[in-house]
Amino acid sequence: MDIKKLQAIVVDALEDVKGQEIMLFDTTGLTSLFDRIAVVSGTSNRQTKALAASVRDKVKESGGDIIGMEGEDTGEWVLVDLGDMIVHIMQPAIRQYYRLEEIWGEKPVKLGAAKRKSTVEAAEAAEPKVKSKHLAANQDAPVVKPINERKPAAKRATTAKASDTIGKPAAKKPAAKRVSKPVGKTITVAPSRTEIAAVEATKAKPPKRKVAAPAAAEAAEPAKRVIKRVAKKAAE
């Protein structure tokens, strides 16, 4: 049987029994004993046995050969030997402990390529899925139309006028006319009697006398005393 057909049958058989973390590796460059190895997890002993039985039955129906099966009594690790392909069905704890992916996982095979195109699952996977329009991410993007950057002639004229005015001083606005406030009538108030009497009293006072300042020479020289000697009359 063709290896691609065989790996597709195995993957379909494992998916029918809800096998977890199905991984497929190409081992042609590592060993000459087999070309493919599959690793899958089962949650219980019952599921691991059911996965092994599903692989065995599917391969026999397709005309393949079953070389041998091991580990069905315990169900912790069931190995199905198909000649060109080895299937390891393990419980999660056993799989984590032995880590077969690190030994045989040099060239992983994608599960999409391992499925046959004639299967119902492959046909459903090939059909485009209907996307919900409720989510913004699934909505169709709007068609972007090219923008014509050329401006019409009328707009060009206005833009040219605007460019001409750039750099020129702005025209001064005429000052607003000042509105003269209305002036009221002036009223003359007659002086009181006390004010009239005060004015007359200032007029009746005699003018102050002006004292002449002494001459500068006289002020500078000290006053001289004149001493007259009186001659005594001769005694008679």
Compute the distance between CA of residue 136 and CA of residue 119 in angstroms, rounded to an integer.
Answer: 33
Compute the distance between CA of residue 79 and CA of residue 68 in angstroms, rounded to an integer.
Answer: 8
Other beta carbons within 10 angstroms of residue 83's beta carbon come to 17
Residue whose C-alpha is closest to residue 67's, from 55, 83, 87, 86:
83
Q: Which residue has the tokens 């009221």?
A: 184
How would you write the pLDDT of the chain (236 residues) with one tens digit per residue? Answer: 889 999 999 999 999 999 999 999 999 989 999 999 999 999 999 999 999 999 999 999 999 999 999 998 989 999 999 999 999 999 999 999 999 999 998 889 887 756 654 445 555 555 555 555 555 556 666 666 666 666 565 555 555 555 555 556 566 666 666 655 555 566 666 777 787 777 777 776 666 666 555 555 455 555 555 555 555 555 44
Beta bridge partners of 36: 26, 85
CATH architecture observed for domain 3-109: 2-Layer Sandwich (3.30)
